[in-house]
Structure 1
Amino acid sequence: MPIDINHVHLDTKAIVEPDRFEVWRSYYTRTALDIPDPSRASLYRAEGDFIAGSQGTLFTAGWCEPTHTHMSGEISDFILLASILDGESFYSHADNDDVSLTPSSGLIMLSPQDKVRISNRYHRYALITVPKALVRARLGFDVDGHRRSAFSFPAAPVSRMLDGMLRLTAQRARTFDAAAAQTALTSLIDFALATIQEQRRVQDELLPHTESAWYAAICKVIGDHLHDPMLDARTIARVLEISRTSLYRILIQRDETVGRLIRRLRLEKAQQLLTVPRSHITEVAARCGYASPAAFSRAFRNATGMTPTDWRHAYGGGVQIRRS
């Protein structure tokens, strides 16, 4: 098999000081890098291996001091599958969702659809870059849709194997000759594609496929979390693994907002509980996510024109809640 690989081990300590960060940054052609303290550029410390293939595939493993990585959905024609080996990274989506990524996060997939930023704190990492064109060519589909730009894979056999391979390759990459590097990259790409395919299969089985189904899924998540006084768009989007932008887009088609839908479902649940004999107002308030019985009573009266106690005595079940 002909060798078609480029393998570089880079240690910024071996680079003259004024150029350390610039040289390191030059190896990340698909992303934009900067550092929190620009005065550190000449002293920047990082070390890693870069194994690049002919189709735009790339394996990278190493460590670096605090660095910001910026990606944009407009130019991000690739998918990253990564393992955090040590330290911590913070992922910030265009929706301003901050997610902590650590070794316990398992295998992580990044498929930027909007502007994102990753901030690390002296972390060690191993990742494989797969062009979306290769996914389309080999698997026949695009990695797009309502999914968030970053999520952790479940502990399925294929993803666990890829996670283990990334970690092992990170340990051994520095010793690879060209043939070993090509074999490692080819194997990683094959397992990365298998992992993406398995995730797509699970997604097709479990996730909604129509706007109506998405709306039903949103209502179910809200219903499952009504007891949480802090329930908000961020929580709902995180559970569904979609962006808040996608969440808002689904609801606006029904002339609905997150806050209004939560309030309505809280009150509908409260009405249901008020029909239960001997249910206490304090218990109903807590189960529906109100901070106090007084807050519950105010919200209930604003929506129905009656206090919870008066409503129970008058109806015992069923009154139209104003959508406001």
Structure 2
Amino acid sequence: MEDNAEMRAYLREELSGRWQVIEAADGEAGWETVREAEPDLVVSDVMMPGMDGFELCRRIKAEEALRSIPVLLLTARAGEEATLEGLESGADDYVAKPFGPEELRRRIENHLAARRHLQAQYRAELTVEALGTVVDAEERPFVEEVLSTIEESLANPDFGVGDLAEAMALSRRQLTRRVKEVTDETPGELIRTCRLQRAQQLLEGGSKTVAEVAYATGYRSPSHFSQVFREATGRTPSAYRQPHA
């Protein structure tokens, strides 16, 4: 987001060779663009007519479905006070003008790489045990609510992404982006993961038959459950239960 046409063209030229660039000429247009496109990262000037970069950043960070998007603010304002204002608005980085194109590219890549690393970390850490989860503290409330909602409906074979989105008061698109951001799985994949992990827990308990486990985890038939379970674990439900009996 940059109101100066020459600077906007300069940024487009320097960044479009590596990333897809979407432009906006002011804060209001930028806000609508972020809501519609949900980009991987936002680069915005601070001094713009109408909504400035600080307010744009505050809005992004206040929106549940957008708050994890890194925001880099560009400004000619110097001094500690301006930097603090940028950071207090929730900005992930603050770049003072003039800056070199390579510096900006490296900062962008660092933030994108950090997001990829966190996605991998969250995916490795994510576990479902009843209503529990282990994730980064900042994302924990959201993930716990998602997992709790799924857990409550595991036995319902009709429960799907639309139901989860409605329960979370998000659109399907917003839910998909946020869940994918944190777990690197789509909501549908996460529901499947939760069903399978709960099935493993029930099989390890040894008190339920394979059919009972299938119906308890939302599968319409034991045969379908067995097929999905074997594809995911490499073992049939009966074979998986034997070492735990």
Q: Give the TM-score taking structure 1 as reference length.
A: 0.33
Structure showing the higher helix proportion among its residues: 2
Structure showing the higher strand proportion among its residues: 1
Q: Answer with 1 or 2: which has the greater Rg.
A: 1
